[in-house]
A and B are shown apart, each in its own frame.
Chain A
Amino acid sequence: DAGITQSPRHKVTETGTPVTLRCHQTENHRYMYWYRQDPGHGLRLIHYSYGVKDTDKGEVSDGYSVSRSKTEDFLLTLESATSSQTSVYFCAISTTPGQRHYEQYFGPGTRLTVT
């Protein structure tokens, strides 16, 4: 399972509050990703990281920020949560640095509900 954990696994929060989700990996992979999954939309990339302090935006980055101060941790922050950010959030890592393939391994997900 590539040693990926996510925390918390479930969270309910109120509109307007900040929320931080954590992705932790134990195998020193360079590339890490945050996706969200919603019915009818499949998985959509929010942000990704290609190294410590190196991050970039994905398809649906508005309202989200990320940080990666250590190789093993990739944090996703919702600065001011909105109901449209209710979703299941998946972290993923890519195990093929320097190669060109899409073997990504996903964490168990965080179910976030914004009320």
Chain B
Amino acid sequence: DAKTTQPPSMDCAEGRAANLPCNHSTISGNEYVYWYRQIHSQGPQYIIHGLKNNETNEMASLIITEDRKSSTLILPHATLRDTAVYYCIVRVATTSGSARQLTFGSGTQLTVLP
């Protein structure tokens, strides 16, 4: 699986957009980009995933560069409740159960400031 690199921490003002970068320069053509977050003491939460097109759902937007070597997760209007560790994960999609395991790196600690 491609390795990802994320900044260890970021701050964002409440109400502003939070833009979280992820570098995955060794990504291969059949690997997807997934984003999860983990609010303190809770289980990880799925946010969004994409292959090469930009994606948007009710939680966030995912922007993947044309060469797919990096991506940005955008929380359009950050709130205090978005304070969490955000994980960028790159994996090949597969039907195999064992290969469905998620490998979480260190992630980015996003702190939303009032």
Contact = CB atoms under 8 A, between A and B. Distances in A.
Interface of A: 31, 33, 35, 42-43, 45, 48-50, 56, 58-59, 90, 92, 94, 98-109
A108 B42 contact: yes
Interface of B: 32, 34, 41-46, 49, 89, 91, 93-95, 97-98, 100-106
A96 B75 CA distance: 25
Given A48-B97, A108-B42, A101 B103 contact: no
Contacts of A42: 103-106
A50 B97 CA distance: 6
Given A45-B102, A100-B93, A109-B43, 14 more contacts: A31-B97, A35-B102, A42-B104, A48-B100, A90-B44, A92-B44, A101-B32, A102-B89, A102-B100, A103-B49, A106-B43, A106-B44, A108-B42, A108-B43
